[in-house]
């Protein structure tokens, strides 16, 4: 039911549900009312009473629904299309087609209630241009992951010489391009022929140089790490996060107890590759299937040790990993030892913190972004409730289930910074972070000669001012061209 409250100041939206999970507490709060003003949450009340206010607005009743924060996936790949051949399909597409597919992937995530995503591996920095689009989730972007020549995911464009000088140059280029986080492939992986998951890709001193350079320039580092040696080297290097952490060896799985304790003690964020949608006829590769029981047992050991753990799904890499797959992760998190509320926090408030957005995402509280998911039933008692979506709000705007856009309208192309000049191809329009104008054709970035999308440049790490970053980059070093 929708009613209107009148007043002097402008439109507000009040959502009234049966229960509230605020992203932090252990239990549901009955009869909540969440008041949205613009893109943020203005007030949160209980008892079903709309707070007295001089403002005008709309009250939306959602009987039987639980309100909870929009979901957060800490590890997605928008450039991969969740097909049986995501790498081949990416290679066959031109860049404007890749961008179109990435936009649809983001909209699919939004339709699934995922309002924040961290893209940990794109092609040619294309995800940077998707930040700030009103029709997509909030995007935290790593650009192409840094890897070795011919190493895991080298085809995404992030290959660097496996030397201290080479890795520092690669980190500086990523910072110059405006990424939010640095992703480095510390081990091989499953999507790259010739790459081995049981082997480290970089010498320990090179990983240390990468972390040192990123931290010097104000960015966190997360490392893709399957091999035991790669995990140990990344921990020793001081990474902020670890992805997968399967403790993969040539013959099986081996998780040293002291390494598990060290990961927990340092509170390194572990992105567990959880969440899967069953697809008839699909089964994991034999090498994965035979290691799976031991990998789950080791994840349970990490959980029991007090490790900071979230669900980083690897969305996009296979049909079992669609871009809204994170809402399927809580049952597996519970199997690892998470309480029902902890499992929800792992895909809301805790995940937002891992993405560097814990100050405004992942909670339903005054001053936080109005990213809200309403589902039928109780998602604490029944994780399947996350599949029964009633309503989605992304930064205060309702999202329609049909197209993921709500009343958001068309995006536009832009005139942006010298690094991110802009592209619009085949009539597609994109919204960036600068004054907008109509443009057609394709512009190449002066650094990589890759096509870029407007809005992908000019952004700097929040911990440093632009002049500080420029000074640091130019401190006796030049960006490779």
Q: Do 110 and 162 belong to one domain?
A: yes
Judge contact between 455 and 432, C-beta under 8 A. Answer: yes
Long-range contacts: 79-83, Cβ < 8 Å, 24+?
Answer: 79/121, 79/122, 79/123, 79/126, 79/127, 79/156, 79/316, 80/316, 80/317, 81/105, 81/316, 82/315, 82/316, 82/317, 82/318, 82/319, 82/321, 82/322, 82/323, 83/318, 83/319
Q: What are residue 45's DSSP bridge partners?
A: 33
- The predicted structure's pLDDT at residue 404: 52
Q: Do 61 and 86 belong to one domain?
A: no
Query: How far is residue 76's CA from residue 137's CA, in Å, rounded to a whole number?
Result: 12
SS3 113: coil
- The predicted structure's pLDDT at residue 381: 95
Q: Do 137 and 217 belong to one domain?
A: yes
Q: Is there a domain that residue 405 lies in?
A: no
Q: Is there a domain that residue 409 lies in?
A: no
pTM (2 d.p.): 0.84
Q: Is there a domain that residue 411 lies in?
A: no
Q: Do 120 and 38 belong to one domain?
A: no
Q: What are residue 73's DSSP bridge partners?
A: 117
Backbone torsion region of residue 168, taken as left when φ is above 0, otherwise alpha when ψ lies between -120 and 50, otherwise beta: alpha
Q: Do 43 and 78 belong to one domain?
A: no
What average pLDDT score do residues 436-464 get? 34
Query: How far is residue 171's CA from residue 210's CA, in Å, rounded to a whole number?
Result: 7
- The predicted structure's pLDDT at residue 325: 98
Q: Do 139 and 19 belong to one domain?
A: no
What average pLDDT score do residues 61-80 get? 98
The DSSP result for 231-286, as a single string, is HHHHHHHT-SEEEEEEEE-SSSB---HHHHHHHHHTTPEEEE-------TT----H
The DSSP result for 373-428, as a single string, is EEEES-TTT-GGGGGSEEEEEETTEE--TTTS-TT------B---SSS---B-TT-
Domain limits for position 84: 71-347
Q: Do 39 and 172 belong to one domain?
A: no
pLDDT at 7 over 70: no
- In this predicted model, what pLDDT tens digit does every residue of 90-141 receive, in sequence order? 999 999 999 999 999 999 999 999 999 999 999 999 999 999 999 999 999 9
Q: Do 64 and 111 belong to one domain?
A: no
Q: Is there a domain that residue 340 lies in?
A: yes
Q: Do 56 and 93 belong to one domain?
A: no
Domain count of the chain? 2
56 pLDDT band (50/70/90 cuts)?
low
Q: Do 380 and 319 belong to one domain?
A: no
């Amino acid at each position: 039911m929708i009613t209107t409250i009148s007043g002097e100041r402008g439109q507000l939206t009040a959502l009234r549900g049966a229960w509230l999970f605020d992203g932090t507490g252990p239990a549901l709060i009955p009869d909540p009312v969440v008041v949205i003003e613009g893109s943020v949450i203005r007030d949160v009340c209980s008892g079903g009473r709309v707070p007295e206010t001089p403002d005008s607005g709309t009250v939306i009743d959602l009987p039987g629904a639980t309100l909870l924060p929009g979901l957060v996936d800490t590890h997605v790949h928008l450039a991969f299309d969740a097909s049986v051949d995501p790498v081949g399909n990416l290679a066959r597409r031109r860049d404007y087609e890749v961008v179109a597919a990435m936009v649809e992937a983001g909209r699919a995530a939004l339709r699934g209630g995922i309002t924040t995503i961290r893209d940990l591996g794109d092609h040619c920095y294309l995800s940077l241009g998707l930040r700030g689009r009103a029709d997509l989730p909030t995007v935290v972007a790593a650009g192409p992951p840094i890897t070795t020549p011919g190493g895991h995911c080298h085809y995404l464009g992030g290959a660097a010489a496996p030397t201290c000088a080479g890795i520092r140059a690669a980190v500086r280029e990523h910072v110059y391009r405006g990424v939010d986080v640095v992703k480095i492939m510390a081990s091989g992986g499953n999507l790259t022929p010739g790459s081995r998951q049981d082997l480290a890709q970089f010498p320990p001193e090179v990983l240390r140089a990468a972390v040192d350079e990123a931290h010097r320039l104000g960015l966190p580092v997360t490392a893709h790490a399957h091999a035991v040696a790669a995990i140990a080297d990344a921990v020793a290097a001081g990474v902020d996060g670890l992805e997968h952490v399967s403790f993969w060896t040539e013959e099986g799985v081996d998780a040293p107890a002291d390494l598990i304790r060290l990961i927990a003690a340092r509170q390194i964020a572990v992105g567990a590759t959880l969440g899967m949608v069953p697809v008839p006829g699909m089964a994991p590769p034999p090498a994965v299937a035979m290691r799976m029981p031991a990998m789950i047992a080791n994840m349970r050991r990490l959980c029991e040790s007090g490790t900071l753990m979230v669900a980083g799904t690897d969305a996009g890499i296979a049909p079992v990993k669609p871009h809204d797959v994170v809402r399927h992760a809580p049952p597996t998190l519970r199997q690892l030892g998470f309480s029902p509320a902890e499992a929800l926090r792992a895909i809301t408030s805790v995940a937002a913190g891992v993405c560097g957005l814990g100050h405004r995402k992942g909670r339903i509280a005054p001053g936080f972004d109005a990213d809200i998911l309403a589902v039928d039933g109780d998602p604490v008692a029944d994780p399947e409730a996350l599949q029964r979506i009633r309503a989605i709000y992304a930064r205060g705007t309702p999202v329609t289930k049909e197209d993921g856009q709500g009343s958001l309208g068309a995006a536009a192309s832009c005139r942006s910074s010298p690094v991110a000049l802009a592209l619009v191809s085949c009539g597609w329009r994109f919204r960036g972070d600068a004054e907008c104008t109509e443009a057609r054709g394709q512009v190449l970035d002066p650094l990589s000669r890759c096509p870029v999308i407007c809005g992908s440049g000019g952004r700097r790490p929040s911990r440093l001012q632009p002049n500080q970053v420029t000074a640091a980059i130019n401190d006796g070093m030049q960006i490779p061209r």
